[in-house]
Structure 1
Amino acid sequence: MNKISNYVLGGLCVVALAFSAGSFVKVNAATEGTEIAGQPVDLTYAADKALPAVVHIKYVQNSKVKTIEVQSNPFDDFFSDPFGFFGNPYGGQGGTRKQKVQTPKREATGSGVIISSDGYIVTNNHVVAGADELTVTLEDNREFNAKIIGTDPSTDLALIKVDGKNLPTLPIGNSDDIKVGEWVIAVGNPYGLNNTVTAGIISAKARSIGANGIESFIQTDAAINPGNSGGALVNTKGELIGINAMLYSQTGSYSGYGFAIPTTIMNKVVADLKQYGTVQRAILGIKGGDVLNYINSLKEEGKEVPDLGTNDGVYVDSVSDNSAAMAAGLQQGDVIISIDGKHIGKMAELQEMVNNKRPGDKITITYLHKKNKVTKTVTIKNQQGTTKVVKTADLDVLGANVIPVDKDLKTQLGISNGLQVKNVKAGAFKDAGISEGFIIITVNERPMKTISDLQDAVKTASTSKNPVLFITGMWPSGKTDYKAVRIGE
């Protein structure tokens, strides 16, 4: 079994009831959140602070008709046209043909945390991605329709908004201050059971499990079950320290380990989504991994283990051209040991540090080169290799945003240009079967290099007799696809 298959995204709990013994913490009268050595921990203060600010999110994806390719039956081809007089537009002899199918309506539930009194709510990307309707229910049973402000699949975070005033909020704590062994509560709506509180401790920090592109999870043994995703991980002071994201399980239910996205990552993502509509992501420009993992892999292969001067840090396997890492002089075989004076013991810690920076920020990198310590201060860049702000273009008629494809993805897919689709909602793109991540390469045979190219193509098509965008595109998997998007209706 693939390792990642054991990690269950806890957000989309298809509506059903299930009960788990030990999943609830009795809440008594709240006084204060204190931890005294040798005495039971009072978690009622934290629960009282958290419960009003944690919401239930109902997700609806409407039924729709989509076109798929199916395998043709060669005998059907023969009997319908045995002598080939008319030709077979789908290739014949068992080729493929297009068929329209209707997808069923889908409903699911998740959780979210109100972070501002005017209605901004943070949750997981996988809780809201692809939704046609989002309904938010507060602890006092007030209901609001929500809209998506922005999503970030790389961190599995999303920001949504309801029109409300004076809503209850949860204070945001600093996840850097948490300690292994510290008591926490997880608050959410597992299996659709609203306002559920479970308790546990911090089991580990900066945990990387290979589920997301950018991750530095808080690991906890507080029960996190399907429906809990997007809910709050809260310390005994009643402060938000993480957004519950997933559980480790071979059964799909809680089995001892849950994971939350720390607020140090959340704060930056939320600020960028509010201001720009997309995350201003800086990259260092290296590929590598934990030194200890590198050493262990060499031992398993029976290879000689080099003396790196440390068993801790991030081993550099390769350096990208025109990157901050190259400017710092990093080379293959070097080991990064600190960023801005903060010790880096593993890749997850490095990712978290860099993720909190924006393109154009300066960082100080300390690394070992042939066991000699080197310290350099450099300017980090975005995935396009610049320090410019990247904004999404909100193309209302299409019902989506787009951003230029980053340099690494263009290299990976072997393309020279393209625009990547973000934040798909109701509109022409969704109707045509275009979802988040799809890459637009050409529109009506015109290469899409900039957002202005797409805006011009939409404007031209909308005033023509046949207002259709004929799109050649590609999915991040590398599969080429063709879409016809009608914008005149």
Structure 2
Amino acid sequence: MLNLRTSLSGLFSLFLLAQASLAHAELPDFTELVEQASPAVVNISTRQNLPQREVAIQGQMPDLQGLPPQFREFFERSLPQMPRNPGSRQREAQSLGSGFIISDDGYILTNNHVVADADEIIVRLSDRSELQAKLIGADPRTDVALLKVEGKNLPTLKVGKPDELKVGSWVLAIGSPFGFDHSATAGIVSAKGRSLPNENYVPFIQTDVAINPGNSGGPLFNLDGQVIGINSQIYTRSGGFMGVSFAIPIDVAMDVANQLKSGGKVSRGWLGVVIQEVNKDLAESFGLEKPAGALVAQVMEDGPAAKGGLQVGDVILSLNDQPIILSADLPHLVGAMKAGSKADLEVIREGERKRLQMTVGSLPEDGDELAAGESSGVERSSNRLGVAVAELAAEQKKSLDLRGGVVIKEVQDGPAALIGLRPGDVITHLNNQAIDSAKTFTTVVKELPANRSVSMRVLREGRASFITFKLSE
């Protein structure tokens, strides 16, 4: 019996060792990748000349001659020194980041925010040599910058395909966090196609790779040693790494780099619409089976979408047969298109599927803001919503590019107050019906269904969006 127990115990120990060996074998070995890739990763520092801050010293400098030598030396080091020519001196601001070489003749990719407003850019290679870099161009919208140093036969990195990445895949970053050159950190892909606030044109790769100040602009690798992204941002409450990092897909960055190299600027596709997410309530109000697509909240006058027949209230389901699951998918796809190319849209309009074709325009440098105006002719509603509305004057319709609509003059106690409506908001659509007058508005309000999601299109400070609500009776 003892021998049997001993044998079983030995077998169990061997099983645990085998499991441990198997688990160890499944973990990636990054040593060869780091050895091969590191020479093409660079440290970037910048210098910016700033006006010298004048130091105001009231009264005369104290007489230090009577103090003992050790105290006199201490005070001389501690007291601020007045410049010989106040205002003539310059002070330097330095910033540290990372980058990587993409061609053997010296083209380097990094983040725009690493080199923005720099008067001098210094690139330090893995052999500690330093080269002065020239800024070829930068694109703030994607946070990509292209640099050039003078060199031949420089080490380069291979470019991979971010589309082939899978969530859960191992990835590695090399950069200079806090100035520590060629630091390697590893993790996995947490998500793909992430949209961040004010970053409409980049489908970010989210990872849990440790990224800290100084990593910005550095490469993100797959296990094949190919660059699949540029480490760009982190989500943090402390200022340091908290497990959520974002990288710009390398195909997006290379497209930007090629445009900067050839023309000095970046051109993006543009439809001229304002869109919003389709949530569960909006999906119900528009008769959709499930929340999906991009809801058109606003169509720019004379823009590509307006010329192509797209209307407010349309829900865009696909672009050139590529499904729009989240509204953020649309800017990513449109932005990657060239001006003049054709966009084939599948939309839901008043419960029916339609196909529209339009010519993609070029994204303007600066968007025009729509203005609000005054109105007259107040008419109260039936109080089912609890608002008093007024007709829009002709000047207002022209400035807001509207054919109809009403402006809220007063919000009373009721559903309107609960959903956040306020005076000055303009209502253009209610329950999928266009509102062309205060009278129409009152009629539609009276006929609103109870206990069902109802949509309302509202313009506030020139920006349009759809909201939903339910009436209990």
Residues 93-134 of structure 1 show CA distances to partners (whole Å, capped at 9, x for unaligned) of xxxxxxx89874211100112111111111111000000110
Matched ranges for 1:225-264 at <5 A: 225-264=212-251
- 1:353 matched residue in structure 2: 333
Displacement of 1:322 in angstroms is 2.3
Identity of aligned residues (%): 42
AA of the residue aligned to 1:354 = V
Structure 1 Cα separation of the partners of residues 328 and 126 of structure 2 = 35
Structure 2: which amino acid aligns with 1:231? G
CA distance in 2, matches of 1:101, 1:347: 53
Pair 1:216 & 2:196 matched: no
Match of 1:336 among 316, 325, 337: 316
Count, aligned residues: 319
Normalised to the residue count of structure 1, the TM-score between the two structures is 0.60
Match of 1:56 in 2: 43
What SS does structure 1 have at the residue aligned with 2:298? strand
- Aligned position for 2:272: 285
Decide whether the 8 Å contact of 2:100 with 2:108 is kept in 1. Answer: yes
Conservation of the 8 A alpha-carbon contact between 1:179 and 1:202: yes
* Helix, strand or coil at the partner of 2:230: strand
**Compared CA separation, residues 409 and 274, structure 1 to 2 (3 A):** farther
| Structure 2 unmatched ranges of 5 or more | 1-21, 55-86, 373-473
Superposed, 1:113-132 pairs within 5 Å as: 113-132=100-119
- Please state how far the C-alpha of 1:232 moved relative to its aligned partner: 0.6
Q: Deviations over 1:242-291 (max 9, x none)?
A: 11101111111101110011123212211111111110122121111222
TM-score normalised by length of structure 2: 0.62
1:145 corresponds to 2:150: no
* Distance in structure 2 (CA, Å) of the matches to 1:59 and 1:199: 27
> Structure 1 residue runs of 4+, over 6 Å off?
35-38, 100-103, 410-413
Q: Which residue does 1:26 correspond to in 2?
A: none
Q: C-alpha distance in 2, partners of 1:154/1:103?
A: 31
| Alpha-carbon distance between aligned partners in 2 of 1:373 and 1:52, rounded to the nearest angstrom | 54
Structure 1 contact 244–261 (Cα < 8 Å) conserved: yes
Residue in structure 2 matched with residue 327 of structure 1 by the alignment: 307
**1:318–1:49 CA distance, 2 compared to 1 (3 A):** farther
Which stretch of structure 1 is more off in the superposition, 140-149 or 324-333? 324-333
Q: State the distance in 2 between where 1:211 and 1:221 align.
A: 22
TM-superposed CA distance for 1:238, in Å, is 1.0
Larger Rg: 2
Point out where structure 1 has 5 or more consecutive residues left out of the alignment. Answer: 1-34, 68-99, 385-404, 414-489
Note the aligned Cα RMSD (angstroms).
2.8
**Cα separation, partners in 2 of 1:112 and 1:286, compared to 1, 3 Å:** same
Residue number in structure 2 paired with 1:167: 154
Distance 1:307 1:230, change over 3 A: same
Distance 1:45 1:363 in 2: 45
CA distance in 1, matches of 2:31, 2:309: 52
**Mapped contact 1:49–1:170 kept (Cα < 8 A):** no
User: Residue 158 of structure 2: SS of its match in structure 1?
Assistant: coil
- Change in Cα spacing, 1:332 to 1:247, as seen in structure 2 (3 Å) is same
CA 102–345 in structure 1, closer or farther in 2 if over 3 Å, else same: farther
Q: What does residue 364 of structure 1 align with? A: 344
Secondary structure in 2 matching 1:250: coil
Query: Larger deviation: 155-164 or 101-110?
Result: 101-110
Give yes or no for contact 2:308–2:359 (8 Å, CA) kept in 1. Answer: no
Report 1:297-312 matches (<5 A): 305-312=285-292
Paired residues of 1:63 and 1:102 also in contact (CA < 8 A): no
Q: Say if 1:323 and 1:380, in contact at 8 Å, map to a contact too.
A: no
Does the C-alpha gap of structure 1 residues 239 and 102 become closer, same or farther in structure 2, counting only changes over 3 Å?
A: same
